[in-house]
Amino acid sequence: MAETCYSQGKKILLMPEQQPNGTWRCRFVIPGLLESTIGTSVDAPLGRYKSEWDAKIAAFSLAKKAIDNSCAARETNPPGRKT
């Protein structure tokens, strides 16, 4: 089941899952983020975390970094501005 969080007004869906070996990983999706691979957690570490909480914190940190990078890119090159 997905858990909803927010960063800078952007929705982040966290989807934790326990692995067969008892460890956890957490995928995330940022709906509406247009960048191709930044909007999903393609590289969510498989079976790396001992607790669900640790996996969620790691996924949220990756998602927040993606949002921060997206916002910084927009500030540097706003839509409609010719370079």
Residue 82 lies in a domain: no
pTM across the whole model: 0.74
Domain with 57 in it: 3-76
pLDDT at residue 36 in the model? 47
Give the total number of structural domains in the chain: 1
pLDDT of residue 71: 74
Which stretch of DSSP H or E encloses residue 28? strand 24-29
**How far does CA 28 lie from the centroid of its chain?**
5
For the chain, 83 residues long, the average pLDDT of each consecutive 10-residue run is 89 90 89 61 70 91 86 66 55
